[in-house]
Structure 1
Amino acid sequence: MTESSIDELLNWVISVDRRLILMESMKKHAFVRASDIAHEVSRSTQNISHALKELESKGLIHCLTPEKTTWKKYTLTEAGKQILDKLDGKSL
């Protein structure tokens, strides 16, 4: 992944607060579920599920349980880890 594509994805993540909230939550957990994050950050499960789908579509997270229709678990991809590293170094 090039530096410019990382920067572009980072800007995309921080442009919507639910994405940023989800990425911040990913720092604390090896894997996440929408309902757990929603409860943790006082957001609706639908709001967090939407963010999970957005991040998955950009290749920042990966679903560990795609066969399930509910209680899906997600983890960071290598690209997602790069974004988190960059996020930690950026003052928001």
Structure 2
Amino acid sequence: MTEDSIDEVPKWIVSVDRRLILVEYLKTNKIAKASDIAQKTNRSVQNISRALKEFESRGLLECLTPEKSTWKRYVLTDSGRQVLKKMDGKYF
């Protein structure tokens, strides 16, 4: 991910609530699981799963359990950590 695209990602994140919820969760949790986030935020598992897939498709998250169809676990990639760092203090 280039520096320019890293600068654009925060705008993409803040444009949708589910993405902001995911970023807030990732600030304090190393592993993300849709059911855990949904339970803590009163969102549907489907809503959070969509955010996780969006982040994964942009290279911000990596799925640790791709062989599973449910109960997948995700961690931030290096690019994801860079974006989170860039957002800290500016957006939350």
Q: TM-score range by the shorter chain?
A: over 0.9
- Cα separation, 2, equivalents of 1:9 and 1:38: 23
- Unmatched 5+ stretches in structure 1: none
Aligned to 2:69: 69
Q: Secondary structure at the match of 1:62?
A: strand
- Cα separation, 2, equivalents of 1:33 and 1:11: 24
Q: Which runs of 4+ in 1 moved over 4 A?
A: none
The amino acid of 1:89's aligned partner reads G
**Aligned alpha-carbon RMSD (Å):** 1.2
Equivalent residue runs for 1:1-92 within 5 Å: 1-91=1-91
The amino acid of 1:44's aligned partner reads S
- Unmatched 5+ stretches in structure 2: none
State TM-score, norm by structure 1.
0.93
Identity %: 61
**How far did 1:6 drift?**
1.0
